[in-house]
Structure formats: C-alpha cells, structure tokens
C-alpha cells in the first residue's frame, strides 16, 4: 500500500475538523491543501462551503469565482452558471453577477435565461437613471435574440430618448420587416402608427420597408400588405409601382400584366404603366394586342420622351415578325423623332423593298399586313383579355370603366396561392391529465421571466435538463425546478422532469408534497420504465419519511418488473431483504 501523501493527510485532517463542526480549523487546513495544489477544484469547492458556514462570505466569493472562471474557460458553462448562482445568493444586490450569468447563459444557448438576467441589469440601470448603460444592455439583448420584437421596440424607443433618431428609425424599420415576414399585420399596424407619431417627417415609412423587403428578395412577404394598402388607397401610385415590382421580383409575368391593367384603370395616362403593359403583351408574344396599344398610345409616349422604350418594344416585335410593315413604320417614326437620319434611311429602304415585293398581294403574308383589320392571327399569339385603357382625352369613346365601377378587391386571380404560409397543425399528444399539470404548477419558486418578452425559447430541452441537475447538485432547488419545468416541454422526457421536480421538493424539505405528487403521477398512463422511475423516487421519499415497509414494497415491485433497473439489487440488499419477492409461475401452481 502506497504511503499517504501530504495532501491526503491534510484532507483527512480537514474532514475530521468538519465532522466536529470546527469549520474554521477545517477551512485553514483546506487552504493549506490548495497551497499545495491550486488546481484542486473539488477541494476549493469544499473550502468555499466551509467559508460560508464560517460567515466569511467575501472569502467564499473569491473561491467560488475562481471555480466559476475555471469552468467557463473550459467551456463548462452550465457548471459555471451553478457556481455564480451560489455567489448571487450571497450577494443578491451585486448587479455584475446578473451580467456574468447572462453572458454564460448566452454562450450555452439558453436564450430565455440569458434575457432574464439581462432584464434585471436593464431595469437596475433604468431605475438608476443610467440611460446609456440601459441602452447598451438592450443592445446586448437584441444581439442574443435578434428576432425578439418587444425587445427591438424597447431598444428603438430608448435610442430615441438618447436623441439617436437614425438608429431608432433603423430599428423600427427592421422590426417592421420582421413583422412583414411573419405576416403579423396587427402588430405591424401598431408599429407603423407609433412611427408616424414619433417621426412625422417620415410619412412613407411602410413603403420604405416594403421597398427594402422587395430589394432583399423577400417580395412574397409584401404582397398581402401591398394589397391591403391598395384597398384603402387605390390612388397611391407608389403602391402600384411596388405591386408591379414585387410580382416582377417573384417572376410572375402574368400577374405583372394584370397589375398593370388595374394600375391603368386609376392612372390611364401613366407612361410607365402603359409601357409596362405593352412590354408584358410583347413578352407573351401577343403581337396583335401590343400593336393595338401602340396605335393608341404611341404619340403620347413620343411626346412624353419615351423614345428608347418605344424603340426597344418595336425591336422586340420585329424579332417576332421580322418583315411586318407596321413594326418597321413604327421604328421609322421613333428614329425620325430621335433625329437618327441613318436609321431612318435604312428602315425606309426596307419598307420600299417590302412594298415592291408585296406588289398588290398583301394578303399572301400575315406579316406584310399594315392595318389592324387585315392583320392575320399568327399561331401562338393570344389577343389581350382586357382592353387596355387609353389617355383620358379618349376615355369617353372607348367605354372604359369609371372609377366607381372598378371592383378594387385587388385579387389578381387568387395570386396568393403560391405564398400561403405553411401552418403546422401537428401537436404532441399529451398523456397527462389537467389535474396533474395543475398540481405541478402549484410548486412555488423564485419568480423569473422577461418583462418585455421573448417570442419563444429556442434553446433545447437537454440544456435545461442539464442545468437543472447542476442547480440541484449545488442545492439551488428553486432554480433547478424552473429548469426542469422548461425541459418538461419536451414530451419525450416529461415524466423524468416531473420526477426531478419531486426530488427537488423532497430535498428542500417538502417531503409530503413530493410523495403526494408522485402518487398522483403513478396513476397516470406511464410506460414500464417510467413507472419504475416514479416508484424509485417514491421509495426514496418513503425512506426519508421513515416508511420503510412501503419503500421496500415499491423496490420489490421494481425488481419484479426490471431486475437490472439502476441499483435496485444493492438497494434491496441494504434493506436487509435476502430474497426479493421474485416468484416464478411454478410457485403459484398449488397456491
């Protein structure tokens, strides 16, 4: 047998002092141990516990923070959290501890826990009038949870109080974009109203947000809102422009064309809309429809200075019908207005050649016809479904719909079928009765939460469960119960988490309540292994209550179900039961 080292001897000496409640002497010995081995984390933890018992909280804090930094540096964030929680209980008024905990929670991905601690720091600075510090904490909070709408709104308002108008407006814009993506129109409406109140010089806030969304490739999220704006204000030209831009971004030319048709019902002399509709028909190879609109609008468009756009359209039509007299004449008119003499001469020569070739037999080719009535239908061409509007000076002659007759539902032939949000109707079946849920809700713990919200904790159940265990081992039972509650939202480990809550109740002295809850839980629908786990914890409770027979009965029931369950054999052996109640079928033959 190897001789005991100096460290081993000191540990034995310290343990003896501790058993005699001589905590001061035990602490001094542990200090000697750490002088020999500063990396002995377990011994440092014991020293901290002894220092607390001696009332030396400041010294204890020094040791605990050394342990916490060690765990944090090593990546054991949950262990570090449990240690700093102990420090926080010793020094509840020290706000720096909440900041440390918030950072540790964030590193492990426990968003809700991190926000809870940050909220404490924020409220401290806000109440103290430390506005810049409070603003910095809000910035950290939105970094931890960038999709949290309430925090973003709070941050935007705080920026405005600090006269950081540009920052505030930018955060409001980002918030509105998130709400658009979520199709949360109710909250978006409130944000827009608030922005109008705070920024009266920004009347087009929502249009700027919609424009930004479309430019970033998120046009699908804007459609519903754009249509809503059109229903309330169909004479807003900028909204119509955005509707067209959105459908173009989505690659839906048919709806672009329909949008232009509606657009022109309200703005019949808008050049961009006229050109857009003609271009849509041209892209569809609707040769006849495009030429008809050009006949009606060409002079207006030329006088408005859209020569290049007209030239592009005629050239596209020329590719569809390379020897069409009407197209060539259109190109010549545009070139003439543009002052391009060489192009005029070139096109004139082509027209003269066509006229010479055609002689008097224009009907022999549909492409040579130069009047709408004589133009033959070319395979693949489709006449326009809707007669396009013309400038206001000729509206009366075409029988165009008046404003009052237009049905402004802006449905565009059900254009949203490809943008329907997927709704998740799947839900996890809950095998627990309401009474069990209500019963466990009666467990009281220290309050927690984020005042201005979190849209949902995205952290995983395993992290909450591990943190609950760490808290339980440190004797922080309120914190442990809160974490097990979070983890119990995962249906696959619901029973395990409820059992752990009962274990926390037992260890914090609420033995009868723990037993009662376990008995209720035992009556619910459980798997074989879950039933064994509940009975195992219940037997521990019975032992603590001095009900040895009840405890032994449960241990035997577990053994009969699963002889290899945890340490059931050793527990039965320690209960002085030599032969467990394990009967075979033969034992009951003559019973």
Per residue in 280-305, pLDDT (tens digit) is 999 999 999 999 999 999 999 999 99
Cβ partners under 8 Å of residue 220, min gap 6: 250, 418, 419
Averaged pLDDT, 116-133: 92
Higher pLDDT, 466 or 360: 466
The domains found in the chain, sorted by start residue, are: 1-93 (1.25.40.10), 133-390 (1.25.40.10), 434-588 (1.25.40.10)
Averaged pLDDT, 74-86: 93
Tokens of 198: 């705070």
CA 387, CA 372: separation in Å to the nearest integer?
A: 15
Position 54 pLDDT exceeds 70 = yes
Tokens of 378: 């070319």
What sign has the CA pseudo-torsion 45, 48, 52, 54? positive
Tokens of 362: 């224009």
Which of 72, 50, 69 is closest to 60 using CA atoms? 50
Here the contacts of 419-425 (C-beta below 8 Å, separation 24 or greater) are 419/220, 419/223, 419/224, 421/183
Higher pLDDT, 445 or 192: 192
Averaged pLDDT, 132-146: 92
CA 148, CA 542: separation in Å to the nearest integer?
A: 46
Position 60 pLDDT exceeds 90 = yes
End-to-end CA distance of the chain: 56
- Least confident among 71-80, 339-348, 471-480: 471-480
Q: How far is CA 295 from the centre of its chain?
A: 52
Q: In this structure, are residues 541 and 511 in contact, taking their beta carbons and an 8 Å threshold? A: yes
CA 321, CA 285: separation in Å to the nearest integer?
A: 10
Position 381 pLDDT exceeds 50 = no
- For helices 271-283 and 287-303, what crossing angle results, to 10°? 150
* pLDDT of res. 406: 33
Position 52 pLDDT exceeds 60 = yes
Cβ partners under 8 Å of residue 142, min gap 6: 148, 151, 152, 155
Residues in the chain: 591
| % of the chain residues with pLDDT over 90 | 53
**What confidence tier does 50 reach under pLDDT thresholds 50, 70, 90?**
very high
Averaged pLDDT, 89-115: 93
Coil/strand/helix, residue 454: coil
CA 534, CA 432: separation in Å to the nearest integer?
A: 14
* pLDDT of res. 408: 40
**What confidence tier does 402 reach under pLDDT thresholds 50, 70, 90?**
very low
CA 325, CA 579: separation in Å to the nearest integer?
A: 109
CA 109, CA 77: separation in Å to the nearest integer?
A: 10
* pLDDT of res. 431: 47
Position 371 pLDDT exceeds 90 = no
Averaged pLDDT, 229-247: 93
* pLDDT of res. 560: 86
Q: Locate tokens 């480990």: which residue?
A: 493
Q: Locate tokens 């339980």: which residue?
A: 472
Q: In this structure, are residues 298 and 379 in contact, taking their beta carbons and an 8 Å threshold? A: no
Burial of 457 (0-12, 13-18, 19+ CB in 10 A): middle
Ramachandran area for residue 401 (φ above 0: left; ψ -120 to 50: alpha; else beta): beta
CA 121, CA 106: separation in Å to the nearest integer?
A: 15
Q: In this structure, are residues 369 and 346 in contact, taking their beta carbons and an 8 Å threshold? A: no
Helix, strand and coil percent figures for the chain, each rounded to 5: 70, 0, 30
- For helices 307-320 and 287-303, what crossing angle results, to 10°? 160
């Amino acid at each position: 047998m190897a001789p005991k080292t100096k460290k081993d001897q000191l540990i034995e000496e310290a343990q003896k002092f501790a058993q005699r409640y001589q905590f001061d002497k035990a602490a001094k010995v542990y200090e000697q141990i750490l002088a020999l081995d500063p990396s002995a984390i377990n011994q440092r933890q014991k020293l901290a516990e002894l220092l607390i018992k001696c009332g030396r909280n400041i010294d204890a804090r020094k040791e605990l923070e050394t342990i916490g930094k060690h765990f944090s540096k090593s990546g054991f964030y949950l262990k570090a959290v449990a240690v700093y929680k102990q420090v926080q209980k010793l020094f509840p008024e020290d706000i720096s501890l909440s900041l440390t905990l918030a950072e540790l929670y964030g590193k492990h991905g426990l968003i809700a826990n991190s926000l809870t601690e940050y909220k404490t720091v924020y409220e401290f600075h806000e109440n103290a009038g430390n506005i810049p510090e409070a603003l910095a904490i809000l910035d950290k909070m939105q970094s931890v949870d960038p999709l949290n709408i309430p925090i973003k709104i709070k941050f935007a308002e705080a920026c405005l109080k600090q006269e950081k108008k540009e920052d505030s407006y930018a955060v409001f814009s980002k918030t509105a974009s998130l709400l658009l993506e979520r199709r949360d129109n109710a909250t978006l409406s409130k944000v827009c109203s608030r922005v109008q109140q705070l920024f009266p010089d920004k009347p087009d806030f929502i249009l700027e947000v919609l424009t930004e969304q479309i430019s970033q490739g998120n046009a699908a999220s804007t459609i519903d809102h754009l249509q809503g704006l059109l229903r309330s204000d169909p004479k807003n030209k900028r909204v119509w422009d955005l509707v067209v831009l959105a459908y173009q971004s989505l690659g839906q030319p048919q709806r672009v064309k329909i949008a232009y048709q509606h657009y022109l019902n309200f703005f019949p002399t808008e050049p961009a809309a006229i050109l857009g509709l003609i271009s849509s028909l041209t892209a569809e190879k609707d040769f006849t429809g495009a030429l008809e609109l050009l006949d009606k609008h060409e002079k207006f468009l030329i006088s408005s200075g859209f020569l290049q756009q007209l030239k592009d359209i005629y050239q596209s039509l020329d590719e569809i019908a390379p020897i069409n007299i009407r197209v060539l004449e259109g190109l010549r008119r545009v070139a003439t207005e543009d002052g391009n003499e060489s192009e005029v001469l070139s096109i004139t020569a082509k027209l003269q050649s066509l006229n010479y070739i055609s002689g008097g037999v224009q009907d022999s080719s549909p492409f040579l016809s130069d009047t709408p009535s004589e133009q033959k239908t070319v395979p693949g061409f489709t006449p326009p479904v809707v007669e396009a509007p013309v400038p206001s000076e000729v509206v009366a002659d075409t029988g165009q719909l008046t404003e009052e007759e237009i049905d402004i539902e802006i449905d565009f032939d059900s254009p949203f079928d490809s943008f329907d949000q997927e709704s998740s109707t799947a839900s996890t079946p809950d095998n627990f009765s309401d009474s069990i849920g209500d019963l466990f809700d009666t467990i009281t713990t220290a309050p927690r939460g984020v005042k201005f919200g979190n849209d949902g904790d995205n952290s995983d159940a395993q992290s909450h469960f591990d943190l609950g265990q760490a808290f339980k081992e440190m004797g922080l039972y309120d914190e442990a119960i809160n974490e097990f509650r979070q983890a119990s939202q995962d249906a696959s480990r619901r029973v395990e988490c409820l059992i752990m809550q009962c274990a926390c109740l037992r260890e914090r002295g609420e033995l009868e309540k723990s037993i009662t809850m376990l008995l209720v839980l035992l009556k619910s629908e459980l798997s074989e292994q879950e039933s064994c786990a509940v009975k195992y914890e219940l037997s521990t409770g019975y032992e603590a209550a001095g009900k040895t027979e009840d405890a032994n009965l449960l241990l035997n029931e577990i053994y009969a179900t699963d002889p290899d369950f945890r340490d059931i054999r050793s527990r039965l052996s320690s209960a002085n039961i030599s032969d467990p109640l394990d009967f075979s079928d033969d034992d009951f033959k003559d019973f």
